[in-house]
Amino acid sequence: MASLWGGRFEKDMDDLVKHFNASIFFDQRMYNEDIDGSIAHVTMLAKQGIVTEAERDQIIAGLEGIRADIAAGKIVFTVEDEDIHMGVESRLIARIGDVGKKLHTARSRNDQCQVDGRLYLKKEIGEILNSLCRLERVILDKAEAYADKITVGFTHLQHAQPITLGFVFMAYFQMFRRDIERLSQTLARMDYNPLGACALAGTTMPIDRHFTSQLLGFAAPCENAMDAVSDRDYSLEFLSDASISMMHLSRWAEEFAWWNSSEFSYIAIDDSFCTGSSIMPQKKNPDMAELIRGKVGRVYGDLMQLLTVMKGTPLAYNKDFQEDKESLFDAVDTWKACIDIFTKMLDKTEFRMDQIEKQLDKGFLNATDIAEHLAKQGTPFREAHSIVGRMVKACEHKGCALQDLTTEDLQAIDSRVTRESLGDISIRACVDARVSFGGTAPTEVRRQIAVGRAWLDGLAASEENANK
């Protein structure tokens, strides 16, 4: 099949080169966006008098017929199509004749592939934002259910302070909130239309780029044609957003793997999110958590791949840019799947409070609270820190908890300390007292939940207004 760009060539491409050059086997997923861009383009051409209204209608009908046939599986693309742009346009010409050859007036594949990529990514970002919001709602519901349930807070993988499970959930809520905010900002920055930039320098034809921007739902045209065809910042930003969010998922997946272990037994993951062993019949493995933890590496790789592609490319368009798509598609698919699976797994996971409560007497979780209590009574904090450190050492010698030390024990450590002066140093009292803004007290966790719900409701209301 003769190429649509082959006029100055005397030879067809070598078969090996055809396969090496073709992107049709992966960029065909953007056929809807390619056809949408072409329909907007020919609609503008007719408005500007560059094609007639009859020609416009004929071209649009042909494009819609191709769209329907692709969706129905009636069109099978081959290496001869080269890419989705040529695959659609060549079929249009075959169906409607010479009129179809007018579609590419005042357009290049350089700006066409950018239109497809931006439209595709805008759609996918919308879906990912919805998935992240669903995850956030599950987190809020879990945080509410466990707002006053106490667990162990860790630093350096050691018991540190008592906290509520609701507090843990709200920590992850903040991570995914930042993911939503970052992705929304990326969406706003990429919402510019490259169509009409042509190869790199615009066109002598009397086109209306503002009109095509309106038709395609972009905020405005890209300001500079050379930048429009060579920019892949929006893909890099998306891949960075995906990498950070996948890191957040991986951190929690790591904790799920710990919590599910026999050494912790903090959680019961629903059977539908676990697998067994081919040889050990007792095993119930947290494979979804482990897969999510593993898949973050491929998304990091997607980001590094495109950064590496872009680092040596001079202005304007280079064939290297064809390598932007597979990494982008992989990251889209991987991130979406991981969010959705983790959301369902989290929703169906229960925390085993009977097992968690057994850990609360280990590690002197109330030590910091005792030091703060002494500081509130006038003891300089560094002295209080030293006193409590000696209390811990005394407990280790006696094999008891801090609250089990007698007044005699305490007086031997420091004459200012008595059992009565310590007050209530139970784990529950320590948690309930941490009411500082952003703290772990149930009252403060419930405030955080209310703020989180209000923020999510605001996002939903903004989206609803934008769609009206």
**Active-site residue set:** 156, 277
Spatial separation of the C-alpha atoms in residues 75 and 65, rounded to whole Å:
11
Helix (H) or strand (E) holding 159: strand 158-164
Longest dimension (CA), the chain: 102
Burial of 231 from C-beta contacts in 10 A (0-12 / 13-18 / 19+): buried
Tokens of 43: 């609609």
- Report residue 231: phi and psi, to 5°: -80, 130
Alpha helices in 104-164 (DSSP H): 109-145
The closest of 200, 236, 234 to 308, measured between CA atoms, is 236
| Cα–Cα distance list, 29 to 21, 37, 67, 425 (Å) | 17, 14, 12, 61
Give me the half-sphere count of Cα atoms (radius 13 Å) on the Cβ side of residue 378.
3
In eight-state DSSP terms, residue 464 is H
Burial class (CB in 10 A: 0-12, 13-18, 19+), 328: buried
C-alpha–C-alpha distance, residues 343 and 40, integer Å:
38
Q: How many Cα atoms within 13 Å fall on the side-chain side of residue 250?
A: 17
Q: 150 phi and psi, to 5 degrees? A: -95, 140
Cα dihedral 408, 409, 413, 419 sign: negative
Start-to-end CA distance of the chain, whole Å, equals 46
Alpha helices (H) along 361-418: 367-376, 381-398, 407-413
Report the alpha-carbon distance of residue 292 to residue 247 in Å, rounded. Answer: 9
Beta strand 267-268 with 220-221 is unpaired
Q: How far apart are CA 163 and CA 168, in angstroms?
A: 8
Radius of gyration of the chain from Cα atoms? 30
